[in-house]
Amino acid sequence: MSAEGASSERFREPKTFCEEEELVEKAVPSSTKYKNKWALSVFGEWQLARTIKVPVLDPGGFFKDYDLHKVATLSTGIEEMDALSLNYWLSKFVMEVAKKTGERYPAKTIYGMVCGGGEKCHLSYNNVYCVVYRFTLFRQALDTEIKDATREGLHVKNKKEEKESVTEEEEELFWNLNLLGMSTAKSLLNTVYFYNGKLFGLRGGEHRSLVLTNFEVGSNFVKFEENSCKTFHGGLTDLKYIPKVVKHICHPLGETHERCLVEMYKLYIGLVQTIGKDCNAFYFRPSKSKLRFEKAPVGINKLNDILPEMCKAAGLKRKTSHCLCVTCASSLFNAGVEEKLIRERTGHRSDSLFKYEKPSKEKITEVSSVLGPSRSATEVKISEEKDLSCLTSSDAQDVVSAGPLNSCSFANCSVKIKVQYLQ
Ligand SMILES: [Zn+2]
């Protein structure tokens, strides 16, 4: 007896070519697609612009013992190059690539173009990266380039402006000026947006992908359940990751109070419920005259303008949507909340969380007093304060070498410490 076709009900229908293509297309986040396209076009422009299209033997160079005769010419499309050719040309590319203005790219950008691993490699045509990165020569070329760029101080020059959190005083001011609250449709929209960032740690771009079903409002809580956010695409690398669920408890059961977020979320969701049903959005355009919303989602640019506009109206320093996520992390951090719990709120999985944890002066003082020598014995005068909170380990090295204790020398077991105060 043949078992053929016997369990056909168990398996799914084979996918057509078009369906397969669509699935692959959908699996890549749009920002990655954009960067891939960009990296490929930069590589293409470089291919065209480079006058020497054939490999040249450079006696002292990385490729002095390389099978140069096997390397394809630069006119070959990147997707047709074999690993040997890619190794050669990508090495040249990282050492020659520059911005339209002729300036060098920061090391991180170059690294992102050719490396980064997996989907983060923006030149990963047919997964060439997986092959190429194993080549020592390419790694050496990239390493040299990055070290050189770092020496030029590019990493410092290109450091993004620091994202500051929104202080309690600023938040209070927003309420007092009715920029937050439920007096108008606009202020209600601001409120829901502001607290989505602060309570649930949502980043700028994540707001646009929210839908009404992400939220549940109970009698005393607002619950947010993630579907697909920046850190969660639901792909292979996310299998171990459980989507974020955050329950914000606003007040004890049965109590009422001013500025109640449960009341405001309830009002907002109630007002947009019917228009939001067949729209893939959460934020809708506020009516100017009435406490109503139009059946038109607020676009990403308008959403990103909400906080900067509130700051402007309140006469405060400009803050961007990302500051709300920072506010979420740093408020919890300063309140002494365990890191694990902060991670749960913000959805950060890596050490990138530390960037957002801006310690307050009190916290820094507290930590210092734990580690420093006893106060009674030494009188320390601090002349300059440095905020080390946002430094990465590589930055920390710079700080160590630039710090006041610049060099020490040890001789004949008697220790001489040479202290230089650099001003
Ligand atoms: Zn409440």
Write the secondary structure of 116-181 as one string of H (helix), E (strand) and C (coil): CCHHHCCCCHHHHHHHHCCCHHHHHHHHHHHHHHHHCCHHHHCCCCCCCCCCHHHHHHHHHCCCCC
C-alpha span between 414 and 330 (Å, rounded)? 45
Gap from CA of 258 to ligand 1 centroid (Å): 8
Residue 170: predicted pLDDT: 93
Gap from CA of 181 to ligand 1 centroid (Å): 13
Gap from CA of 219 to ligand 1 centroid (Å): 9
State the sign of the Cα–Cα–Cα–Cα dihedral 51, 116, 198, 235: positive
Highest mean pLDDT among 83-92, 153-162, 194-203, 367-376: 194-203
Locate 281 and state its tokens: 């959005």
Q: What global pTM score does this model have?
A: 0.54
Gap from CA of 245 to ligand 1 centroid (Å): 19
Q: Quick: pLDDT tens for 184-237.
A: 999 999 999 999 999 888 887 788 888 898 999 999 999 998 874 444 455 555
Gap from CA of 367 to ligand 1 centroid (Å): 34
Determine the residue type at 154: L
Q: What percent of the chain has pLDDT over 90?
A: 21
Backbone conformation region of residue 90, classed left if phi is above 0, alpha if psi is from -120 to 50, else beta: alpha
Give the least confident one: 112-116, 217-221, 406-410.
406-410
Gap from CA of 223 to ligand 1 centroid (Å): 13
**Of residues 174, 418, 417, 140, the one with CA closest to residue 306:** 174
pLDDT tier at 4 (50, 70, 90 boundaries)? Answer: low
**Of residues 238, 15, 256, the one with CA closest to residue 119:** 238
Gap from CA of 125 to ligand 1 centroid (Å): 52
C-alpha span between 356 and 325 (Å, rounded)? 8
Q: Quick: pLDDT tens for 258-283.
A: 999 999 999 999 999 988 887 888 99
Gap from CA of 251 to ligand 1 centroid (Å): 5
For tokens 């049965």, what's the residue?
A: 254
What angle is formed at CA 183 by the lines to CA 178 and CA 185, rounded to 5 degrees?
105
Gap from CA of 260 to ligand 1 centroid (Å): 4
Gap from CA of 262 to ligand 1 centroid (Å): 5
